[in-house]
């Protein structure tokens, strides 16, 4: 075991980890940030997506030690108090979730897509970019609408 420090949502956070500890375990079990979900543990579903140093990653595929010194953003870091992040607000208004299991990962992946493409996004690009995020419930139409809506409302934080 060793103590690891990672900046999570703007704060340096520490937890004891083994070399084999995954980033998602560091977040959920080490820090109690359970908004990042584990759907498959095999890099298939995207429920565990977080942003690491400005890039969406599947945190079940990253060892915690690989994130030492990195800046990680999770779903818990998006809202500003009671005020939802524009993507969270758009997902709510467009009914882009049902059970909500995929939603944290879907939103973090969408944030990365919007930050890379800006307001030039089109539906085909959103569908292509989110193909690594699986949803069992929604059929994806409303997710695409929500992402396009959020992209058109300026650069999400």
CA 128 vs CA 70, 101, 119, 131: distances in Å: 27, 21, 16, 5
**Nearest-approach distance from CB 150 to ligand FES, in angstroms:** 17
By CB neighbour count within 10 A (0-12 exposed, 13-18 middle, 19+ buried), where does 42 fall?
exposed
Residue environment code for 81-91, b if the CB has 16+ CB neighbours within 10 A, otherwise e:
eeeebbbbbbb
Whose Cβ is closer to ligand FES: residue 5's or residue 131's?
Answer: 131
Tell me which residue of 116, 106, 114 sits closest to 137, measured CA to CA: 106
Whose Cβ is closer to ligand FES: residue 44's or residue 55's?
Answer: 44
Residues paired with 24 in a beta bridge: none
Q: Is 58 in the site for ligand FES (CB under 6 A)?
A: yes
Residue environment code for 20-33, b if the CB has 16+ CB neighbours within 10 A, otherwise e:
ebbbbbbbbebbeb
Cα–Cα dist 157/136, whole Å: 27
**Nearest-approach distance from CB 120 to ligand FES, in angstroms:** 26
Q: Is 21 in the site for ligand FES (CB under 6 A)?
A: no
Q: Is 66 in the site for ligand FES (CB under 6 A)?
A: no
Among 135, 148, 150, 151, binds ligand FES (CB under 6 A): 135
Q: Is 63 in the site for ligand FES (CB under 6 A)?
A: no
Choices 37-45, 64-72, 87-95, 122-130 (CB under 6 A): range interacting with ligand FES: 37-45
Whose Cβ is closer to ligand FES: residue 99's or residue 123's?
Answer: 99
Q: Is 118 in the site for ligand FES (CB under 6 A)?
A: no
The residues of the shown chain that bind ligand FES, judged by CB under 6 A, are: 38-41, 43-48, 58, 60, 97-103, 135-138
């Amino acid at each position: 075991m060793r103590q690891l420090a990672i900046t999570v949502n703007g704060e340096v956070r520490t937890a004891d980890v083994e070399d084999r500890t995954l980033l998602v375990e560091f977040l959920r079990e080490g820090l109690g940030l359970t908004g990042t979900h584990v759907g498959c543990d095999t890099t298939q579903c995207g429920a565990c997506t977080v942003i690491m140093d400005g890039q969406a990653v599947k945190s079940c595929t990253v060892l915690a030690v690989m994130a030492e010194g990195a800046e990680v953003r999770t779903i818990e870091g998006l809202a500003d108090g009671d005020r939802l992040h524009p993507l969270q607000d758009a997902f709510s208004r467009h009914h882009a979730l049902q059970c909500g299991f995929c939603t944290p990962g879907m939103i973090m992946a969408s944030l990365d897509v919007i930050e890379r493409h800006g307001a030039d996004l089109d539906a085909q690009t959103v569908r292509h970019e989110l193909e690594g995020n699986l949803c069992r419930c929604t059929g994806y139409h409303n997710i695409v609408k929500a992402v396009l809506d959020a992209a058109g409302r300026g650069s999400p934080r």
